[in-house]
Amino acid sequence: MGMMRQYELVDRVRSYNPNTDEDMLNRAYVYAMRAHGTQKRASGDPFFAHPLEVAALLTDLKLDDATIVAAVLHDTVEDTAATLEEIEGMFGPEIRRLVDGLTKIKKLDLVSKKAVQGENFRKLLLAIVDDVRVLLVKLADRLHNMRTLHFVPPEKRLRIAEETLEIYAPLAGRMGMQELREELEELAFRHIKPEAHATVTKRLEEVTEREGKVIGIVESDLKEKLAARGIQAQVSGRRKRPYSIWKKMERKSVSFEQLSDIFGFRVIVEQPEDCYRVLGIVHMTWPMVPGRYKDYISTPKQNDYRSIHTTVVGPGHSRVELQIRTDTMDRIAEYGIAAHAHYKDGRTTEIMQFGDESRAYQWLRRTVDLLAEGDSPEEFLEHTKLELFHDQVFCFTPKGRLIALPRGATPIDFAYAVHTDVGNTAVGAKINGRIAPLLTELQNGDEVEITRAEGQAPPAAWEALVVTGKARAAIRRATRAAVRRQYAGLGRQILERAFHRAERPFNDDKLKAALKRLARTGVDDVLAAVGRGEMYSGDVVKAVYPDLEPEKRAASDAKAAGLGAPAGKGWFELRKGDNLKFKLPGEGPDAVAIPIRGLGGDLPVRFAPDGGAVPGDRIVGILTPGEGVTIYPIQSSALAAFDNEPERWLDVRWDLDDKAPQRFPARIALKSINEPGSLAQITTTIAEHGGNIDQVQMVRPNPDFTDVTIDLTVWDLKHLSAIISELREKRVISRVERVVG
């Protein structure tokens, strides 16, 4: 198939929008063609063919000029020398905004390789779509990429297909675009589970061969019966898609033979009341299957979908599923949110504004509580972990790394989220290229660049102005470290004078040699203790020079440091023998990011006693002086105990050596039915999956059930999840959960 020509694209738009701005479409075509130049896609086709195909898919949805132009330009800013300013100059602010949204989502495609970014990605996708057209272009872009996925290197294919199944297909469904969703699912299924896809397709073909004539019989039967009652209807039958069939087999754990409705029929009529007349005729002709009747006309789905569903036992005892709807309902079912952008009667000059009547669009603006009402709550949650978090903002570093922050966050929070050092040395910020105050509230999609100055310490006042716990704890730590440095400086002055009085040389090496006698771990500790008045300077001199005659404590250390001053200037008179003490909140060691390499390293590392932690968990370290670090998963309830001791929290991360894999501790709790061999089934399953059992505890709350707690070691979170889901399949087990202390 050759590349689409300029005039073909214009013709496609003109066919549904006679008032299209042809000049703008032509300029976009030429601009993108020049920008992409000789770039090639993985298939060897010119790159420019891709944005054109995406634009063509959107003309099928009859979208407005701005969306079509944005589709043609959607890769230019990311992949070529084009800039947003240039696009705004040539095509105006609206198209700039659409292209900008697409460019930001594009950056995410690169980031979402990292599992933790996957969650953020889903949320951002929704947060960024201030204009649903961005999402429509993105869905079309993904569809074209999925159709040409076989050209992509195999290791990338799986990730793209999984992302499609987890994020884009459900999004298309939520937007009410069933056709698009089904094709995305189908293409992804083929790549993710090729054997399952092949098997289901083969079985479908066998059934169609055997019972395919049912389709023809039902179609003609229905048409005749309806016409006899004076109802004009289009009736079309088709068999279900392999993916939806496989999903049902998985969900209901049934075999292919047990599946009922392989065939589905659509009956399209003119008026809503005709739908109910059709329903009556259908139920009088064939017996209905109880429990399978749903009326989405009187109560439409959240995405505006309306139809009546019923399943009947048709000719030859085959079950047949029917969807009964009007033409308008059908269009919304197929195009979803895009249907609202259609031109009314082809003569409107103005495209109908998005969101005027579309509840699906308002849904985008609404929050989490509605997300449960997918096809059914379970089904939707299964399809996607999609959450629309309105209480979060998503920002980027200049390199395109995604940082998720709570609403109300400032560039200071952002800096600490990137790294504690970046926060501690932050002195200024640029937001989207413009210099902005460090206390600006960040918005979705902002790109934030932090200006740093080494040797800077964060002002203590920041602590009250930031919204993330990480920033707060780090500022408190840095402030304490700064205060500690001041004390150490004061301590040094005091000691220099004390040694001077004793007429003995003073230097850090001499002090180091005496650390054991002073029972301190470092020179700074000694200096700060003297500065704070917790240690008397004469004792230090004595520790360094044990042979020295004890000095009479003639003047206090503070006097010796020149601190004594006339009363009345905010100072106070110090009398002989005074011991001066400043009390500050407890000092703590400065936090460091320690790679967790097994249990070695500089600090002894342990795992949370109740439930451990495994790679894949987000983790924090809690320092216990003298004992080492304990690693907790971030969702652990035990962490609440350390809320008021920010100086004990450490930034830690997994740093695993692929060449020398290690196991990590986790705990699971099961409820098993008391019957012979049930424990054997549990332990065998864990062993077959390569888990090592360390300890098993069993409590029998009643004669029917046993509560079993198992401590085991696994490679990572994926390994643990695989073991848990395998256990859930067992008949003898009624419940399995991971335990996090």
Quote the pLDDT of residue 109.
54
Quote the pLDDT of residue 278.
93
Q: Is the pLDDT confidence value at 590 over 50?
A: no
Whether residue 507 sits in one domain with residue 653? no
Chain centre to alpha carbon of residue 37: 35
In 419-563, alpha helices (H): 420-424, 469-501, 508-513, 515-518, 523-532, 537-544, 557-560
Cα(205)–Cα(202) distance, integer angstroms: 5
Q: CATH code at 421?
A: 3.10.20.30
Can you say whether the dihedral through the CA atoms of 227, 232, 236, 237 is positive or negative?
Answer: negative
Quote the pLDDT of residue 602.
54
Asked if 588 contacts 480 with a C-beta cutoff of 8 angstroms, the reply is: yes
Backbone angles phi, psi at 278, to 5 degrees: -60, -45
Whether residue 603 sits in one domain with residue 585? no
In 533-568, alpha helices (H): 537-544, 557-560
Q: Is the pLDDT confidence value at 325 over 80?
A: yes
Q: CATH code at 97?
A: 1.10.3210.10
Backbone angles phi, psi at 337, to 5 degrees: -60, -30
Whether residue 149 sits in one domain with residue 14? yes
Q: pLDDT tens for residues 641-651?
A: 888 887 788 77
Q: Which long-range contacts (CB under 8 A, 24 or more apart) does 217-226 make?
A: 217/314, 217/315, 218/263, 218/265, 218/314, 218/315, 218/320, 219/265, 221/285, 221/315, 222/265, 222/267, 222/282, 222/285, 225/281, 225/285, 226/267, 226/278, 226/281
Quote the pLDDT of residue 81.
81
Chain centre to alpha carbon of residue 87: 30
Among 147, 173, 192, identify where a domain stops: 192
Whether residue 165 sits in one domain with residue 52? yes
Q: Is the pLDDT confidence value at 112 over 70?
A: no
Asked if 339 contacts 331 with a C-beta cutoff of 8 angstroms, the reply is: yes
Quote the pLDDT of residue 709.
93
Neighbours of 246 (CB within 10 A): 20
Segment 675-695 mean pLDDT: 87
In a domain, 601, yes or no: yes
**Residue 3, token pair as written in the block:** 């590349």
The residue among 113, 119, 184 whose CA lies nearest residue 145 is 184
Q: pLDDT tens for residues 23-67?
A: 999 999 999 988 888 888 888 888 888 999 999 988 887 888 888
- Name which of 116-125, 142-151, 572-581, 694-703 the model is least confident about: 572-581
Report angle CA 87, 89, 90 to the nearest 5 degrees: 65
In a domain, 50, yes or no: yes
Greater model confidence, 612 or 107: 612
Q: CATH code at 211?
A: 3.30.460.10
Whether residue 663 sits in one domain with residue 541? no
Q: pLDDT tens for residues 436-480?
A: 888 889 987 788 999 988 877 788 788 888 888 888 888 888 888
User: Would you call 583 exposed, middle or buried from its count of C-beta atoms within 10 A (0-12, 13-18, 19+)?
Assistant: exposed
The helix (run of H) or strand (run of E) holding residue 237 is strand 234-239
Whether residue 173 sits in one domain with residue 119? yes
Confidence category of residue 348, pLDDT binned at 50, 70, 90: very low
Averaged pLDDT score across all residues of the chain: 77
In 21-92, alpha helices (H): 22-36, 49-60, 65-73, 76-79, 84-91
In a domain, 357, yes or no: no
Quote the pLDDT of residue 28.
92
In a domain, 382, yes or no: no
Q: CATH code at 715?
A: 3.30.70.260
Neighbours of 690 (CB within 10 A): 12
- Name which of 59-68, 141-150, 568-577, 627-636 the model is least confident about: 568-577
In a domain, 351, yes or no: no
Count structural domains, the chain.
5
Q: pLDDT tens for residues 554-565?
A: 344 444 444 433
Quote the pLDDT of residue 340.
52
In a domain, 416, yes or no: yes
Whether residue 237 sits in one domain with residue 115? no
Whether residue 517 sits in one domain with residue 432? no
Can you say whether the dihedral through the CA atoms of 318, 324, 329, 330 is positive or negative?
Answer: positive
Among 563, 590, 617, identify where a domain stops: 590
Q: pLDDT tens for residues 601-622?
A: 456 778 898 889 988 888 888 8
Domain extent at residue 284: 196-337
Neighbours of 336 (CB within 10 A): 29
Q: pLDDT tens for residues 246-271?
A: 887 777 676 776 665 677 889 999 89
Whether residue 489 sits in one domain with residue 440? no
In a domain, 657, yes or no: yes
Whether residue 21 sits in one domain with residue 107? yes
Quote the pLDDT of residue 214.
77
Q: Which residues of 450-475 are buried (b: 16+ CB within 10 A; e: fewer)?
A: beeeeeeebeeebbeebebebbbbbb
Residue 191: half-sphere exposure toward Cβ, Cα within 13 Å? 26
In a domain, 358, yes or no: no
Whether residue 100 sits in one domain with residue 36? yes
Q: Name the residues annotated as catalytic.
A: 78-79
Relative to beta strand 434-436, strand 628-633 is: unpaired
Confidence category of residue 391, pLDDT binned at 50, 70, 90: low
Among 441, 467, 493, identify where a domain stops: 467
Whether residue 479 sits in one domain with residue 447? no
Report angle CA 714, 717, 722 to the nearest 5 degrees: 80
